[in-house]
Amino acid sequence: MSGTIATLVTVLQSDGIIPRGSRVEVFDAIYWVFLVLGALVGIVVIGYMLYNAYKYRDVGETDEDAAESKKVERPKLGELPRGGGGGRKLFLSFTLSAIIVISLIAWAYGILLYVEEGAAEEPPTEQAEALEVQVEGYQFGWRFTYPNGHTVDSAVGDSFKVPADRMVRLNVTSADVFHNFGIPGLRVKSDAIPGQYTQQWFIAEDPGTNYTARCYELCGAGHSDMTATVEVMSQEEWQNWYEGTGNETETGDDGNQSDGGDDDGHALEDVLEEPVDYGMEVHA
Partner 1 sequence: MPDDNNGDDGSVPSGERDASPESRADGGEVTDGGHAVREELPAGDEHGHDFPSMGTVKRWLVTTNHKDVGILYTVTSLFFLVFGGLLALLFRLELTTASGSFLTGTAYNQAVTAHGLLMVFFFLSPFAFGFANYFVPLQLGAKDLAFPRLNALSYWLYLLAGGLFGLSFLQGSTFAGGWTMYAPLNLPMYLPEGVGSTTAVMAMIMFVISVTVSSVNFLTTMHRMRAEGMRIRDMPLFSMSILLTVWMMLFAFAALLAALIILASDHILGTTYFAATEGGSLLWAHLFWFFGHPEVYIVFFPALGMMAEVFQTFTGRRIVGRKWFIAAMTLVALQSFVVWMHHMFLTSINLEIKTLFMATTIGISLPFDLMVFALIYTMIKGRIRFTTPFLFAFGALLLFIVGGITGVFLGAVVLDYEFRGTYWVVAHFHYVMVGGAMAMFGALYYWYPKMTGKMYDEFLGKAHFALSFVGFNLLYFPQFVAWETPRRVYNYQPEFVTWHQLSTVGAFVFGLSFLLMFYNFYKSYHHGEDAGDAPWKYASSAEWAIPSPPSLENFPGVPSYKGGSLSFLSEEEVHGAAAADGGPAHGHATGDAHAGGHDDHASYWPLLSSVAVFVLFVGLAGTNGGGTVYTATAALGGLALLGTAAGWVVESFHVSEPELASRWPFDGVENTKLGVWIFLASDVVVFGAFVGSYIFIRVAEGWQNWHHLLPADHVVLPGLINTYLLLASSFSIVLAMVAAEKKSRAGVVAGLVTTLVLGIGFLINKGIEWSHFFHIHSEHFPEGWTFGTNVASSTFYLTTGMHGLHVTLGLLVLLWMIPRAWRGAYTSTEDGDKPLEYFGLYWHFVDIVWLFLFPLFYIL
Question: Rounded to whole angstroms, how far apart are CA atoms 237 and 239?
Answer: 5
Per CB under 8 A, does 266 bind partner 1?
A: no
261 in Cβ contact with 151 (< 8 Å): no
Q: Which of 219, 232, 267, 271 binds partner 1 (CB under 8 A)?
A: 219
Per CB under 8 A, does 77 bind partner 1?
A: yes
Closest distance to partner 1 from the beta carbon of 188 (Å): 8
Closest distance to partner 1 from the beta carbon of 231 (Å): 18
Question: SS3 of 272, please?
Answer: helix
179 in Cβ contact with 198 (< 8 Å): no
Name residues contacting partner 1, limited to 151-190 (CB under 8 A): 176-178, 180, 182, 184, 187, 189-190
Per CB under 8 A, does 111 bind partner 1?
A: yes
Is the previous residue joined to 181 through a cis bond, with omega within 30 degrees of 0? no
DSSP state of 172: E
Query: Cα 237–146–123 angle (5° rounding)?
Result: 85
Neighbours of 212 (CB within 10 A): 12
Q: Which of 38, 124, 244, 265 binds partner 1 (CB under 8 A)?
A: 38
Closest distance to partner 1 from the beta carbon of 176 (Å): 7
Closest distance to partner 1 from the beta carbon of 89 (Å): 6
Question: SS3 of 137, please?
Answer: strand
Q: Which of 17, 36, 108, 156 binds partner 1 (CB under 8 A)?
A: 108
Per CB under 8 A, does 275 bind partner 1?
A: no
Per CB under 8 A, does 222 bind partner 1?
A: yes
